[in-house]
A and B are shown apart, each in its own frame.
Chain A
Amino acid sequence: MSQLIYPLRGGVHPPENKQQSLQSPLRRLAIPGELVFPLAQHIGAPAKAVVEIGDRVLAGQMIAEPNGPFSAAIHASTSGTVSAIEARPIPHASGLWGDCIVVAADGKDESIDFVGCENPFKIDHESLIEKIRHAGIAGMGGAGFPSAVKLNPPPNNNIDTLIINGTECEPYITADDVLMQERSEDIIRGCTLLAHILNGPDRILIGVEDNKPKAIAALEQSLLKLAAEDLPGIDRVQVVSFPTKYPSGGEKQLIQILTGKEVPSGGLPAHIGIVVQNVGTTVAIWEAIKHGKPLIERITTVVGESLKEQGNAIVKLGSPSQFVLEQFGFQEKSCARLIAGGPMMGFSLPDSRAPIVKTSNCLLVPSHQEMPDPAPAQACIRCGHCAEACPAGLLPQQLYWYAQAKEHDRLLAHNLMDCIECGACSFVCPSSIPLVQYYRASKGEIRQAEIEKEKSDRSRQRFEFRQKRIERAEAEKEAKRLARKKAAEAAKAKAAANAGAAKTAPAADPVAAAMARVQAQQSDPAEQLAKLERAVNNARNRLNSAEEKWQQAEGDQKAKLESRFKQAQLRLQDAESKLHDFKQQSAGQNPAPSNPTSASPTTPLNIDSDDPIERAKAKAQQRLSMSPLEKAENNLSSLNDRLKKAQEKASEADDDKRAAMEAAVEKLKQKKTSLEKEIDELKAQAPLKENTATAETPVDPNSIDDPIERAKAKAMQRLNMSPAEKLQNSLQALQTRLAKAEEKAASADEDRRPAMQAAVEKLQEKIKTVEQEITEFKAQEEPAKPAESANESSGIPLDAASAAIEKAKAKAAAQAQMSDSEKHAAQVESLQQRIQKAQQRLDKATEEGNDNVDAFRLGLEKLQAKLKELESE
């Protein structure tokens, strides 16, 4: 069965330049006087030195141990003495120096005893991984990924394909080619061992570009030869050759060529069941396990026109590049640049002292003719050659634009992070733009920005948590303070309540506490006494006013008012008798409280007090405790007063003022009749008990004299109104305004009349629009309430406005039908709900550190006070 080959997208064909280094046979280089072992030769954490200066080390001795799982050990490659552990030039793209262990070789090349094993296939998985780790093996193709990590994929990834990478697509480099020719048997053995470690994948593919016919032949021969041996899984090994094209040897590209699959962006080959290992790594792993020999040498291609000879050599790791180059007759003056790796992805070294490391597959020292200095970049003409060359399917010229503009969003949207930096785009660019350099810089910028963002996110989070912590602490303090206050109040109430209060424990919950207080008050005889006294007072006041009115009234009114006066008399008597009974009762039970007024803050203040403030307070309190009916009656009396005065004035006034005066009198009369009507209605609706003065009972705002009070009541009413009611309300208001305006217009003198009439017209217009709105609103509501509309159409006029009035009346009646206790209960319930909500809001606000905490707390306290008041009734 021959393996299918899938095409590689993009790619380029740079001059291969592989012949130069294949002319001379593989040789073994001498041992340099000094070897330098960088601690970071692999991807991951640098190794940890385990030797000290002055220690004698032998070849194969571990001189640095892996630092964590994502790391690799480092071994001395010859015998000698550790002369220094310090920063030295290392082969790294940055050109920076890094920590190295420096060994002065003694030339004896003494080695530790390598302990091999007879049959590596009998060793268990964990031990094999551990052996690889301790042999310090990292990817030898160039990346230096610790092999032990790669061969130990996450357990949920079932590996079905093992790929051995012998592609070597970089020009000039022939290290793997030579290795495949020289060590083909070990490669075959090694890959069966890797398959064993990976739990026997279905396919083992050795991928080689077709420009290495000798290597392919050698591998196939060895495969045939070894088939006779008892190597587990050798029947699944295949050597696959495919057309030469750069960068076929990239891990992702090779996977695509051999399997047709693509490694998901940001994922690992293991995620699609594939593991790729370089041929050099494969041999190193075989040696490490079979013969116990750690990674201390490798084949490196030494090539370039500034050398007298070019070729491949087995180099001891740690040999300085300068030493290696000198073995090949290095002519420094003709050297254009020193490149570690190939011409496409290798990086230039500023310093030839940098040593050969595990990943050094090539040292390239081209002459100036061979690799001239880069041409100055011209403008991008968007020819698109780069996009055709890109093996990752990117749009390099767009990336270049965005990299120049530092548009990171666009760069990410154009998948910059999927760029493998193969250099194909730069290679083909006719304008000689160093595209890859732009991408590397942009990637660095983006990573840096991400790191900084993460940092700032973290510090912001820290700050927010701290704020929350502080707020929480403060809220706790505040809660404690409140609790203490409540407790103190409760204690006070307890002291006043004597026996009954024993039941109510000071509660942390403000609602519970409020209820407890209310209970305490209800059972407090002083409270009850005060209440009764208040009721008597109220009744007396009402009686007085009724009497006054009665005396002032004339005609029909008089009869009405007389009856009212009599009622008030009866009530007063009732209240007085109640008070009397109570006083007797309490006198019988226990001595009257020494100071009832101080114990009950709601005791009416003296209305006849001399102090005006005191008096105002008393009045306000009185008003607060009035029922709407009482208020209306109060208003009526004051209106009567005003009417009387106005009439007097009108009779006294001279002619020109008289018209105005009479109009005013008329107005007052109108008001009075409307008020009287209201009073009647109120009486009919709800015969109120004397001592139930509920603030929540809907109050007709027009009946209240005090402007502030009126406004409040109005607002309250508005809040409770449905939109239709609101409209209705505004219609009414407009109609009254219209009437007034018409009056004014009629009474106004000639020159002001037009203005007045205009105003009247305006008002009329407004009324029309409001009426229209009401109709519209009704029309909207109609489908929602078919039953109601049916009712309306059956007897009541179809006029929308009057219908609305009917509805409002019906509602009021429904409310009136509710028994007082029901109403009360409903109000208490709603208040409690509101308190709960307010409490929640307050809690949330305290948590968040909202600025409104104080406002919320105030609101809550108000609500609690209201509840208390309500429940006391």
Chain B
Amino acid sequence: MSFLRASSPHAHAANNTTKVMQTVLLATLPGLLALTVFFGPGSIINILLALIFCLAGEALVLRLRKRPLGFYLRDYSAAVTAVLLGLALPPYCPWWVVMVASVSAIIIAKQLYGGMGYNPFNPAMVGYVVVLISFPLQMSQWPSPASLLESLPSISASISQVFTGQGLDAYTSATALDIVKQNNSQLISQVYADSDLLRSGSLAGAGWEWVNLGFLMGGLYLLYKKVFTWHAPVAMLASLSLFALLGYDSGSSQSGGSLSLHLFSGATMLGAFFIITDPVSSAVSNKGRLIFGAAVGALVYLIRVLGNYPDAVAFAVLLMNFAAPFIDYYTVPRSYGHAKPRKATEKQEP
């Protein structure tokens, strides 16, 4: 009898892409929980809408490309994109904003480049930036945390807000980063004293600090599960901290904001553990990931403090996505038996 002919290795570790993606989804739960507790059901609605649009978009393109739907949808990569997008978008934003973001993310940023594994840019961040630039009004309406509202928005009111634009009254307020940025030449301590949001928080504004702590928790879980290495997140947080410390100048009106503000507000932790760790669009070697993460951290700080946008993770990540292949060329690790690393662009003598 003839036996199966297969190439070694014949053994395979019990991991697969689907499991990796499921783990990532699981790890977003603490952050989502914090978002829901402090800002109401808006983020859940976002995620559900994004899931629908993303999976539908993925299925559409897969059908056009004549690929087996089940095999590709089951890898959960579209779901991860949808969830990250839903988390990143402001709660209660109109449904069509979510739709545009989802379509941009899945169809343009992912499938048009060849689908999973071939996208040079992080799809969720592309979707986010598209709507951020296209619909600045809708994208700047962040809800106030529950502690500053009389009550959390009800589910029915939330749904009608998302689909009709009516249902919630005066639910929005400036985010912590907005407030510090628009400080009207006040000292940081004055800004904190004037702002309910900042005053009621202990790290970086009510609600936001908990959301970031939630994502930090999820990120640590992923590190523990060895879904990614520590290099990129640690490098990003370290460089962001360094810049924040250098730019704080103990709270003048020109100050860039405190360390805790930068680490625990906005999308810092979401970015550090869920966005820049996207393996497809970041650098491949550990050294490359250190460089990648550090550069993202620096860009986040610079754009936050000097740029027009109060939060900068999406722009910083996309900018560094451009640079990732370049970083890869110059961070090829030293191989066994070689005195030093070879250049990735080295050519053989003809």
- A contact set with B: CB distance below 8 Å: 9, 12, 14-15, 95, 171, 252, 256, 262-267, 332, 335-339, 341, 343-352, 364, 366, 371, 373-376, 378-385, 387-388, 391-395, 397-398, 408-410, 412-415, 418, 421, 423-424, 426-428, 430-432, 434, 436-437, 440
Q: Name 20 A/B residue pairs within 8 A (Cβ), A-sorted.
A: A12-B13, A171-B11, A256-B336, A262-B336, A337-B3, A337-B10, A344-B9, A347-B8, A374-B12, A376-B71, A378-B16, A379-B116, A381-B20, A384-B285, A414-B344, A418-B335, A430-B20, A431-B16, A431-B17, A434-B7
| Interface SS of A by simple majority | loop
Residues of the A chain whose Cβ atoms lie less than 8 Å from the Cβ of B7: 348, 434, 436-437, 440
Which of A364, A418, A434 meets B338, CB within 8 Å? A418
A414 touches B332 (CB 8 A): yes
Which of B16, B333, B338 meets A265, CB within 8 Å? B338
Which B1-37 residues have a C-beta within 8 angstroms of A?
A: 1-13, 15-17, 19-20
The smallest C-beta distance from B8 to any residue of chain A, in angstroms, reads 5
The smallest C-beta distance from B289 to any residue of chain A, in angstroms, reads 8
Given contacts A9-B336, A335-B3, A391-B336, contact A381 B12 (CB under 8 A): no
Since A344-B11, A434-B7 are in contact, a sample of 18 more A-B pairs with Cβ atoms closer than 8 Å, ordered by chain A residue number, is: A95-B5, A252-B336, A264-B338, A336-B4, A350-B5, A376-B71, A379-B117, A384-B284, A395-B333, A398-B284, A412-B346, A413-B345, A413-B347, A415-B338, A430-B20, A432-B16, A436-B7, A436-B8
Of all chain A residues, which has the CB nearest B6?
A: A348
Given contacts A15-B11, A395-B332, A413-B345, contact A262 B337 (CB under 8 A): yes
Q: How far is the CA of A94 from the CA of B157 in the complex (A)?
A: 68
Query: What is the interface size of chain B, counting residues whose CB is below 8 A from a CB of the partner?
Result: 50
Q: How far is the CA of A382 from the CA of B77 in the complex (A)?
A: 13
The smallest C-beta distance from A341 to any residue of chain B, in angstroms, reads 8
Of all chain B residues, which has the CB nearest A15?
A: B11
Which B292-350 residues have a C-beta within 8 angstroms of A?
A: 328, 332-338, 342-348
The smallest C-beta distance from B265 to any residue of chain A, in angstroms, reads 30
Q: How far is the CA of A440 from the CA of B227 in the complex (A)?
A: 28
Of all chain B residues, which has the CB nearest A341?
A: B8
| Interface SS of B by simple majority | loop
B6, B115, B282, B337: most-surrounded residue (chain A CB, <10 A):
B337
B284 touches A348 (CB 8 A): no
Residues of the B chain whose Cβ atoms lie less than 8 Å from the Cβ of A412: 346, 348
The smallest C-beta distance from A653 to any residue of chain B, in angstroms, reads 76
Given contacts A381-B17, A383-B20, A395-B285, contact A409 B346 (CB under 8 A): yes
B11, B115, B118: most-surrounded residue (chain A CB, <10 A):
B11
Question: B142 contacts the other chain (Cβ, under 8 Å)?
Answer: no
Q: How far is the CA of A296 from the CA of B342 in the complex (A)?
A: 46
Q: How far is the CA of A426 from the CA of B15 in the complex (A)?
A: 11
Residues of the B chain whose Cβ atoms lie less than 8 Å from the Cβ of A95: 5
A95, A344, A383: most-surrounded residue (chain B CB, <10 A):
A383
The smallest C-beta distance from A664 to any residue of chain B, in angstroms, reads 68
B348 touches A348 (CB 8 A): no
Question: B202 contacts the other chain (Cβ, under 8 Å)?
Answer: no
A384 touches B279 (CB 8 A): yes
Residues of the B chain whose Cβ atoms lie less than 8 Å from the Cβ of A434: 7
A428 touches B333 (CB 8 A): no
Residues of the B chain whose Cβ atoms lie less than 8 Å from the Cβ of A346: 8, 10
Q: How far is the CA of A410 from the CA of B309 in the complex (A)?
A: 40
Which B145-175 residues have a C-beta within 8 angstroms of A?
A: none
Q: How far is the CA of A12 from the CA of B15 in the complex (A)?
A: 13
A388 touches B229 (CB 8 A): yes
Residues of the A chain whose Cβ atoms lie less than 8 Å from the Cβ of B348: 408-409, 412
Question: B62 contacts the other chain (Cβ, under 8 Å)?
Answer: no
Question: B178 contacts the other chain (Cβ, under 8 Å)?
Answer: no
Of all chain B residues, which has the CB nearest A380?
A: B117
Q: How far is the CA of A263 from the CA of B335 in the complex (A)?
A: 11
The smallest C-beta distance from A782 to any residue of chain B, in angstroms, reads 48
A428 touches B10 (CB 8 A): no
B335 touches A394 (CB 8 A): yes
Residues of the A chain whose Cβ atoms lie less than 8 Å from the Cβ of B289: 384
Interface string of B180-192 (1 = CB under 8 A from A): 0000000000000
Residues of the A chain whose Cβ atoms lie less than 8 Å from the Cβ of B279: 381-384
Given contacts A373-B4, A380-B117, A427-B9, contact A393 B280 (CB under 8 A): no
A384 touches B8 (CB 8 A): no
Q: How far is the CA of A383 from the CA of B3 in the complex (A)?
A: 33
The smallest C-beta distance from B350 to any residue of chain A, in angstroms, reads 10
B3 touches A398 (CB 8 A): no
Q: How far is the CA of A348 from the CA of B13 in the complex (A)?
A: 19
Q: How far is the CA of A332 from the CA of B337 in the complex (A)?
A: 43
B337 touches A263 (CB 8 A): yes
Residues of the B chain whose Cβ atoms lie less than 8 Å from the Cβ of A14: 11, 13
Which of B2, B19, B116 meets A381, CB within 8 Å? B116
The smallest C-beta distance from A371 to any residue of chain B, in angstroms, reads 6
B342 touches A413 (CB 8 A): yes
Given contacts A262-B337, A413-B344, contact A374 B6 (CB under 8 A): yes
B284 touches A387 (CB 8 A): yes
A343 touches B11 (CB 8 A): yes
The smallest C-beta distance from B219 to any residue of chain A, in angstroms, reads 16
The smallest C-beta distance from B29 to any residue of chain A, in angstroms, reads 21
Which of A335, A418, A430 meets B336, CB within 8 Å? A418
Which of A12, A266, A376, A415 meets B342, CB within 8 Å? A415
Q: How far is the CA of A814 from the CA of B280 in the complex (A)?
A: 81
Q: How far is the CA of A423 from the CA of B71 in the complex (A)?
A: 25
Question: B248 contacts the other chain (Cβ, under 8 Å)?
Answer: no
A421 touches B8 (CB 8 A): yes
Residues of the B chain whose Cβ atoms lie less than 8 Å from the Cβ of A378: 16-17, 75, 116
Question: B228 contacts the other chain (Cβ, under 8 Å)?
Answer: yes
Residues of the B chain whose Cβ atoms lie less than 8 Å from the Cβ of A436: 7-9
Q: How far is the CA of A393 from the CA of B11 in the complex (A)?
A: 21
Residues of the B chain whose Cβ atoms lie less than 8 Å from the Cβ of A351: 2-3
A345 touches B16 (CB 8 A): no
Q: How far is the CA of A432 from the CA of B17 in the complex (A)?
A: 9
Residues of the A chain whose Cβ atoms lie less than 8 Å from the Cβ of B115: 379
The smallest C-beta distance from A446 to any residue of chain B, in angstroms, reads 10
A350 touches B3 (CB 8 A): yes
The smallest C-beta distance from A403 to any residue of chain B, in angstroms, reads 13
Residues of the A chain whose Cβ atoms lie less than 8 Å from the Cβ of B286: 384, 387
Q: How far is the CA of A378 from the CA of B74 in the complex (A)?
A: 11
Residues of the B chain whose Cβ atoms lie less than 8 Å from the Cβ of A266: 337
The smallest C-beta distance from A144 to any residue of chain B, in angstroms, reads 16
Residues of the A chain whose Cβ atoms lie less than 8 Å from the Cβ of B282: 382
B1 touches A332 (CB 8 A): yes
The smallest C-beta distance from A387 to any residue of chain B, in angstroms, reads 7
Residues of the B chain whose Cβ atoms lie less than 8 Å from the Cβ of A382: 117, 279-280, 282, 284
Interface string of B62-98 (1 = CB under 8 A from A): 0000000001000101000000000000000000000
Residues of the B chain whose Cβ atoms lie less than 8 Å from the Cβ of A338: 3
B337 touches A264 (CB 8 A): yes
Given contacts A387-B284, A431-B16, contact A426 B347 (CB under 8 A): no
Residues of the A chain whose Cβ atoms lie less than 8 Å from the Cβ of B11: 14-15, 171, 343-344, 371, 427
Q: How far is the CA of A95 from the CA of B2 in the complex (A)?
A: 11
Residues of the A chain whose Cβ atoms lie less than 8 Å from the Cβ of B227: 383
The smallest C-beta distance from A443 to any residue of chain B, in angstroms, reads 13
Which of B16, B117, B280 meets A375, CB within 8 Å? B16
The smallest C-beta distance from A248 to any residue of chain B, in angstroms, reads 13
Residues of the B chain whose Cβ atoms lie less than 8 Å from the Cβ of A343: 8-11
Residues of the B chain whose Cβ atoms lie less than 8 Å from the Cβ of A262: 336-337
The 3 closest A-B pairs by CB, nearest first: A423-B9, A379-B117, A265-B337
The smallest C-beta distance from B7 to any residue of chain A, in angstroms, reads 4
Residues of the A chain whose Cβ atoms lie less than 8 Å from the Cβ of B75: 378
Which of B9, B118, B335, B344 meets A393, CB within 8 Å? B335
Given contacts A388-B229, A395-B285, contact A348 B3 (CB under 8 A): yes
Q: How far is the CA of A430 from the CA of B15 in the complex (A)?
A: 5
Q: How far is the CA of A385 from the CA of B336 in the complex (A)?
A: 18
Q: How far is the CA of A410 from the CA of B343 in the complex (A)?
A: 9
